[in-house]
Structure 1
Amino acid sequence: MMASKAPPRIFSPARRIAARRRAIATRHQPDAPRYLLDDMVEDVLERLSFLRFEPKRALIVGDWTGSLAQALEARSIEVTQAEPGDGLDEEAPYPFGGFDLIASLGTLDTVNDLPGALVHIRSALAQGGMMIASFLSAGSLPVLRDVMLAADGDRPAARIHPMVDVRAGGQLLQRALFADPVIDQRPLQVGFRSLERLVGDIRAQAAGNVLADVAPPLTKAAWSRAREAFAAAGTDGRTVERFEILTLSGWKK
């Protein structure tokens, strides 16, 4: 009997879809956070400008703000938008193709088969097309990790999912056969007045835990320890958390 080559089931597709739908539903609220996607969108536009690359057809995956589509359409680029929360399966062949540019924003960190997802992106590109994929990566949320360890005490639970680092990102691009691969990571630091606001921002941007194995809820005592640890990590009532954004780019040649 041949051994199964199915990828390990780390993330729950149902929880992932629910998290993204929650972000989409709250995006029009006046105080809805969107700084993670805003940073990714700005980066895509800067890369296109630097490369002087003018695609004719673009696919945007995961940008529930719609701002990247607006910016590209203003340049007379034909744009198709797709969203995992609305049914796009990134771990299956795309139902469309022939794109000069595919920008995937904030979604690939929670797929079970990331190598396969990158292969499907490459397959949906036209010859000479470019992929830009950005998502949270290793090194993100160091304060929250420490806070959760303090809250759980001697019995820590998996409350933040594993993340890809720069080295693994390069290996993934090579495995998916992208030409001229570029891998870089940049930090985004944000200050918070409370642990609840940090957790709320993470959930509102669909960046929270969607692990298949759900951790037990924190008790009141654990929440109290978490708040104390969060406050101790800051100064003057403000704690700075760091988000590390990994961007993978490459070409289909």
Structure 2
Amino acid sequence: MQPADIFDRAARRARRDRAAAGYAAHDFLRAAMLDGIADRLDAVKRDFADVLDLGCFDASFVPPPGTRVARLDPGFGFAKAACGVQGDEDRLPFADAAFDLVVAAGTLDSVGDLPGALTLIRRTLRPDGLFLGAFVGGNSLSTLRAVLRSAEGERPVARLHPQIDLRSAGDLLVRAGLTLPVADFETLTVRYASFGRLLDDLRGMAASNVLASRHPLRRDVLARAMAEFAARAAPDGRTAERFDIVFLTGWSPAPDQPKPARRGSGRTSLADALRPPGG
């Protein structure tokens, strides 16, 4: 039996459609993700032919020269503007082995079935195809979480998406059947003049609450949250917020890929390695 989604798919699509027109004013987080993906892609010495830009937003990902690119986004507005396909990452409409590179920047943290989405990504890749992903995870939005907990008192409700930590991200790659998995992260700190500016950015980047169970934010709670956020400001009046960008790298299995050494196959003992020269 399929587990119930923790995210509201219709709300997710609607949030993205509302964000599409003004997205360029709030795209700093995805721009940082794409910079990190570009660095990782530059280190790969091979050619690609067919690329999937998964969760394409405004189609700002630039594929390698000479490649064919397909784009998919959960939002109709983004998908239409990118001449792409509207769809969900855990319900991909593409054939198996259709691509040799899949890039997913900025959407996987709000996918209803992330393990399923990664498995589908692996299936759409050709043997020895590359997956590069990035999303918000770790200890992101720690200030916002603390402010809301304080403002709501003894009975807080879930208002922010659950975050995927680095170890869990790596485990998900292995679970999906991707090989040579690597998960790492970078932290971006943004300093806000007001609580409202932070909320504007989250709405503008289509990152506001799309949990299936949502609760209205009462005015008294909002007022306390604004005051708490301001109380945490530095002397210049700005409050720091943290964004952890989790980067994922994995390969579709292929017979000629390098394989990790079998446990116990090393020929040098630890004692020998630690013995001083001439000992």
When normalised by structure 1's length, the TM-score is: 0.91
Shift of 1:38: 0.2
Q: 2:56 pairs with 37, 43, 63, which one? A: 63
- CA distance in structure 2 between the aligned counterparts of 1:35 and 1:54, rounded to whole angstroms: 29
Runs (4+) off by over 3 Å: none
Number of the residue aligned with 2:42: 49
1:67 alignment partner, SS class? coil
Number of the residue aligned with 2:87: 88
Preserved CA contact (<8 Å) 1:91 1:113:
yes
- The range that moved more, 6-15 or 35-44, is 6-15
1:72 alignment partner, SS class? coil
C-alpha spacing 1:248/1:125, structure 2 compared with 1 (3 Å)? same
Letter in 2 for 1:65: D
Which structure is richer in relative contact order (CA contacts within 8 A, separation 6 or more)?
1
Letter in 2 for 1:143: T
Number of the residue aligned with 1:133: 133
Is 1:18 aligned with 2:11? no
Alignment RMSD: 1.5
Number of the residue aligned with 2:251: 251
- CA distance in structure 2 between the aligned counterparts of 1:105 and 1:23, rounded to whole angstroms: 16
Shift of 1:231: 1.0
Preserved CA contact (<8 Å) 2:55 2:89:
no
Is 1:7 aligned with 2:3? yes
2:63 alignment partner, SS class? helix
Q: Where do 1:82-161 residues align within 5 Å? A: 82-86=72-76, 87-96=86-95, 97-161=97-161
Shift of 1:241: 0.5
1:246 alignment partner, SS class? strand
2:150 alignment partner, SS class? helix
Shift of 1:94: 2.9
Preserved CA contact (<8 Å) 2:100 2:125:
yes
Preserved CA contact (<8 Å) 1:173 1:181:
yes
Shift of 1:216: 2.6
Equivalent pairs, count? 242
Shift of 1:89: 2.2
Gaps of 5+ in 2: 77-85, 254-279
Shift of 1:202: 0.8
Q: 2:33 pairs with 22, 36, 40, which one? A: 40
C-alpha spacing 1:138/1:215, structure 2 compared with 1 (3 Å)? farther
Identity of aligned residues (%): 39
Number of the residue aligned with 2:66: 76
Preserved CA contact (<8 Å) 1:138 1:162:
no
- CA distance in structure 2 between the aligned counterparts of 1:248 and 1:107, rounded to whole angstroms: 13
Q: Where do 1:165-244 residues align within 5 Å? A: 165-219=165-219, 221-235=220-234, 236-244=236-244
